[in-house]
Structure formats: C-alpha cells, structure tokens
C-alpha cells in the first residue's frame, strides 16, 4: 500500500549529496512506503533535505523495517555512550 | 495495425489553469482512436510509468501521463520530485481531478481523437482513477489496486477520506484489477466496493488474482507477478477496446 503518512523533523547538520558535495540539511522526512530502489515491497525511507536549494538537495535512504530498527538502536547507543554534556 | 509510435514531452493546462508537464505517446498514422490518461503512482512520473504510457500507444491509443508533481519540482528527477511532493503533503484530490481533466481535454483536442478518453492508475493512482471518474466526463476507468476507495485511511493521513460518499457520482464503467494477497485494498474492501457499485447501479468488472499482492503490475519491483500482470493487461486491452473504440 501507499501509506501516505509522513513524519517530519527539523534538523541541523550536513549531508553528502548529489555530485559528492556536502550541503547543510534542515529537514528530515520519514515514511514507510514503496522504495524506489531497495528490493522490498515497503521500506523505511528517510529524506534529509534543504528545501531552499530545490528538490535535488536530498540524501535518501531506503531501509528494511528490521534494519531501520537496528539503525535507531545504533543511533541511540552511540548517543548514550558519550558524556551527556557533548550531546545537549 | 502498425506498432510504430512517437513519444515526447508536452505542456498541458491542468488544475487552476496551471501549465504542467506531461508525457504523450501516440501511434503513428491518422486513424481515429481513443485516448488514455495514465495516472502515475506515488513514486512519481518515472520510467516505469512512461513505459506503461508507451504501451497504450502500442495498443493503439493516444496516451498521456501528466506529471502530478510538476508544481513542486519542475524538471527534478522523478524520485526527488516524489519526495518533495510528499514533504508538501501530497497531491490534493481537487488538484488531481483538475490535472486529469486537463489531460483528457488535451487528448480530445488531438486531430486523431474519436472523442473517447479512459483513465487508468496504479496504487495511489488507482484511487485517483476512481476519483477522476466520479467528477469528469470519461468513458472508462481502470483501478489497479488503489487503496482507500473503501476502507478507512490511517489517522494523520493527508488523505482525509475514502471515496465512498463520491461513488454514487461515478460516471464511467470501472474495471478493477486486484491481488488476492493485497491488504490495501483487502479482498474485503474490494467486496465492499463491489457492493456499493451494485447498489448504485454502476457498470463495473472486477478481477482478483491469486498469488498476487499489491503492485503486481510493477515489472521493476519485487511485487511483480507475471501471470497476474499478463492477465490484467489482457483485461485492460479488452475493456478499452470495448469502451474507447470508434
């Protein structure tokens, strides 16, 4: 199915995008839907973007549900493993 | 009949008099024929949808696929355009109807047009095909596994409602092609749609295929099921021949 539902987050950081260039990213959209490239019916898709630079200023990933959960756990573990004052 | 065809990008007038991009495929020659509006799926105005559009030209129809994401992302790669459109909340139903109406009007202005136009959509486009046929003067509509024609959209979805309250306005014969293993739409939701159409005296024909789930026509995806897709294409060809022929 097309799930339609999209989660959004304001973010602040950089991503390496089209043509191998780094750019500042301001927005993340997260949704579980049909992938463009991954060999799965549905994937957890994340777009890191800077809408002010146009639609192509985007880094996209498509992850199976299991690997997306593993990624979430890895991110949380990485954040938890360092002194709290570094991650405020 | 020749299978020679020509395909190119054109600009058409869509909803709100906006100029939007569209992909037009036409059989060679000046034989009068019907037209088909192809509604692309959520992943966008992509290569696979343009292949489908050319297939309708090969079947003998003037076929056009409007780029529903042109406003958000003119000239962008299809996947980037789809991401931008999703981030903006998706395509509003009213705009979809206007864009399909513009595409149908464009087809009817072609010197080869016999005046008849059908519509077809896949996945989200399946729902939009039914939606368009509830509001526009079309001669045939095909819904390929569109979710939420019946059934309840998830909470928080930008799609506020299903189409149940609009189905009494359906103006065109409907061909529905579904996978038995699909959950959206589920066999129960397909049965509900059939009941509603029957109750309203609408002309429709549904086929549900075994060993097929959502997206069984998508030959570039793991959901592809060759037997269901081949059978479905046969049904589409026969349906349009009956409804869009001269």
What ipTM was reported for this prediction? 0.86
Please report the pLDDT score of residue B160 as a whole number: 65
Interface test with B, best of A4, A25, A46, A59 (most B CBs within 10 A): A4
Helix, strand, coil percent content, chain B, rounded in steps of 5 = 35, 25, 40
Write out pLDDT tens, residues A62-85.
Answer: 999 999 999 999 999 999 999 999
A contacts of B157 (beta carbons < 8 Å):
3-5
| Residue whose tokens read 């397909």 | B190
In which residue ranges of chain B is pLDDT below 70?
1, 156-160
A13 closest CA partner among A28, A34, A30:
A28
Q: Which of B81, B154, B223 faces A41 most closely, judged by CB atoms?
A: B223
Query: Which band of pLDDT confidence, cut at 50, 70 and 90, is reported for residue A2?
Result: low
Please report the pLDDT score of residue B158 as a whole number: 62
Alpha-carbon gap: A51 to the closest alpha carbon of chain B (Å): 8
Q: How far apart are CA A27 and CA A25, in angstroms?
A: 6
Statement: residue A25 has pLDDT above 80: yes
Closest residue in B to A52 (Cα–Cα):
B84
Q: How many CB pairs under 8 A join A and B?
A: 78
Domain spans of chain B, in order of start: 5-244
B contacts of A41 (beta carbons < 8 Å):
213-215, 221-223
Write out pLDDT tens, residues B169-194.
Answer: 999 999 999 999 999 999 999 999 99
Statement: residue A1 has pLDDT above 60: no
Kindly report the average pLDDT of chain A as a whole number: 93
Q: How far apart are CA A37 and CA A34, in angstroms?
A: 9
Please report the pLDDT score of residue B157 as a whole number: 66
DSSP character at residue A52: G
Q: Which residues of A5-26 are buried (b: 16+ CB within 10 A; e: fewer)?
A: bbeeeeeeeebebeeeeebebb
Which H or E run contains B140? strand B140-144
Alpha-carbon gap: B116 to the closest alpha carbon of chain A (Å): 30
- Name the β-bridge partners of A32: A44
Across the interface, whether the CB atoms of B183 and A1 are under 8 A apart is answered yes
Structural contact between residues B96 and B132, judged by C-beta atoms closer than 8 angstroms = yes
Statement: residue A15 has pLDDT above 80: yes
Number of C-alpha atoms within 13 angstroms, CB side, residue B235? 23
Structural contact between residues B32 and B244, judged by C-beta atoms closer than 8 angstroms = no
DSSP character at residue B239: H
Q: How far apart are CA A72 and CA A76, in angstroms?
A: 6
Contacts of B27 (CB under 8 A, 6+ apart): B1, B2, B3, B4, B5, B33, B57, B58, B60, B61, B62
Beta strands in A17-54 (DSSP E): 22-33, 43-49
CATH code of the domain occupying B5-244? 3.40.50.1820
A contacts of B76 (beta carbons < 8 Å):
54-56
Assign B82 to helix, strand or coil: helix
Residues 56-75 of A with CB under 8 A from B: 56, 58, 60
């Amino acid at each position: 199915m097309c799930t339609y539902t999209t989660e959004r987050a304001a973010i602040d950081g950089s991503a390496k995008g089209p043509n191998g260039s780094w750019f500042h990213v301001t927005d993340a959209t997260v949704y579980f839907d049909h992938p463009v490239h991954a060999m799965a019916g549905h994937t957890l898709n994340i777009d890191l973007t800077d809408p002010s630079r146009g639609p192509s200023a985007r880094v996209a990933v498509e992850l199976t549900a299991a690997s997306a959960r593993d990624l979430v756990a890895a991110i949380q573990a990485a954040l938890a493993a360092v002194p709290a004052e570094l991650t405020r | 009949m020749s299978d020679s065809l020509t395909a190119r990008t054109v600009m058409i007038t869509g909803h709100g008099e906006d100029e939007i991009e569209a992909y037009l495929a036409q059989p060679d020659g000046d034989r009068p024929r019907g037209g088909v509006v192809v509604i692309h799926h959520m992943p966008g105005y992509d290569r696979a949808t343009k292949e489908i559009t050319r297939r309708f030209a090969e079947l003998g129809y003037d076929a056009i696929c409007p780029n529903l994401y042109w406003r958000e992302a003119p000239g962008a790669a299809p996947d980037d355009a789809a991401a931008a459109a999703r981030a903006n909340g998706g395509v509003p139903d009213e705009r979809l109807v206007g864009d399909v109406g513009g595409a149908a009007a464009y087809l009817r202005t072609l010197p080869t047009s016999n005046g008849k136009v059908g519509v077809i959509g896949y996945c989200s486009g399946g729902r939009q095909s039914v939606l368009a046929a509830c509001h526009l003067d079309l001669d045939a509509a095909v819904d390929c596994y569109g979710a939420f024609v019946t059934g309840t959209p998830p909470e928080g979805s930008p799609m506020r409602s299903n189409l149940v309250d609009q189905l009494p306005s359906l103006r065109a014969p409907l061909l529905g092609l579904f996978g038995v293993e699909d959950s959206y739409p589920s066999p129960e939701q397909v049965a509900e749609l059939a009941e509603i159409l029957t109750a309203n005296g609408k002309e429709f024909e549904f086929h549900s295929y075994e060993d097929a789930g959502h997206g069984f026509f998508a030959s570039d995806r793991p959901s592809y099921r060759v037997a269901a897709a081949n059978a479905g294409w046969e049904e589409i060809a026969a349906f349009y021949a009956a409804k869009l022929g001269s």
